[in-house]
Structure 1
Amino acid sequence: MTSGGRLFQDRRAAGAALARALLGYKDRHPIVLALPRGGVPVGYAVAEALEAPLDVLIVRKIGAPGYEELGVGALVEGDPPQVVLNEDVMAAVAPSGAYLETERMHQIAEMERRRALYRGDRPLPSLTGRTVILVDDGIATGGTVRAALKGLSASGAAAVVLAVPVAPADVLRSLRPLADAVVCLDTPQPFSSVGEHYVHFPQTSDEEVIALLAAARAHRAGGSAP
């Protein structure tokens, strides 16, 4: 166990533990949106326990010119996709409008590819008036989650709940104003990575994401889950 923090066996076990902390939302008939790929096994367990539909929310980072790992913003799935800019990085890097538009179109194309891969021809379900539970397998820097929460603020959702097994306390505090509620099982200090809080933390494959989304739909329709 690291730094006194909780150790999860794997993402499914973390999801089961997270689901127990979220049972109070079951009567709200929420929809669970998982951040792919690692958030999907966690979200699957949450959705199963809450008898809620499961889907993914695709977020694509917009990198800085010459420094792709440095995000000047992100594109969040929606109709239309929402561009969320990091004002601090934007001020420091000052990318041109032409660069941002080129990157936006590039990330839209990649978002559509992933949407087709994960969801086929099904659109993202309407979130209007719904309680949305946004799930990931953990938070490190919070960049992707921050963009997702800002994008969801324009979705018409009645409430947005951020739910993760583990995150740094300071990052979590910075995200709280962006959600109606935050549920996190552990905030160990010091915090170096999400994976150190799992016994088994392999990379989640596209195939696993597709299979879990299909299993969640089958479960909702009365079929069997894996």
Structure 2
Amino acid sequence: MPGQYQTITEDLRRLIAAGNWRACEQLPPELKLALLYRVSLPTLRSTLDLLQAERAVEKFHGRGSFVRRPGERTIHDSARHTTDQPTVLCSALRASVEVRWVKASGKVASLLQVRADSLLTEYEYVGFVDTSVRSMARLYVPRKVARLRRPETPLSPWGDNVRKLLTAGVHVASSVERVTSRLPSTEEREVFRSIAPVLAVERTSMNVTGQVAEGTILLLPGDRAEVVFTAQTRVEVLEEGG
């Protein structure tokens, strides 16, 4: 019932705010909470989903629900310096990478402006803070453009290690980034442990002839990410003669 749902949510909010469970501390199991509030498991889980959307708790598959650190948000700026600025101590963002050969299909073929089934090198980057996934990027380079080695650490969640390798042999003349917001897929909800909208950044980099040298699809959880774009304008000082 709506009344029960609202009462449970407000009570759990109050208990978390009062410090009954500290940051990163696990809440009681769902079954125990359902019995305590005398509601069904689906009702209790809907309540926890709402608290997760409000960034009060974080749900981990197979482990339970934990109180989220307040104010924890990962900032990605356009200079590709990625920092984590929580209100409490938190470990630094780290990244892992998997490299594989794939064939271009659908959206990726359109992004890179290549024929379907063209051979690509795919770099899949996943950025973490502790066990929380903060970014997932797939970077593609056509095999006909360059054959790159595995990037060295430290890894950038944006795939900048690959871009540096690429620019060593290919002159990247321009890049275009397109940012959209959308609801997460089932897979993305599981990966980010959140039902909040995701920020999707599509980037294409072109060489001097206009050929796409690299394309990236970056996904960020909208409730834990902030993207800052900074533009610098070159100012030329003109001296008047005479």
TM-score between the two structures when normalised by the length of structure 2: 0.25
Is the strand fraction higher in 1 or 2?
A: 2
Structure with the greater alpha carbon radius of gyration: 2
Is the helix fraction higher in 1 or 2?
A: 1
Larger RCO (CA under 8 A, 6+ residues apart): 1
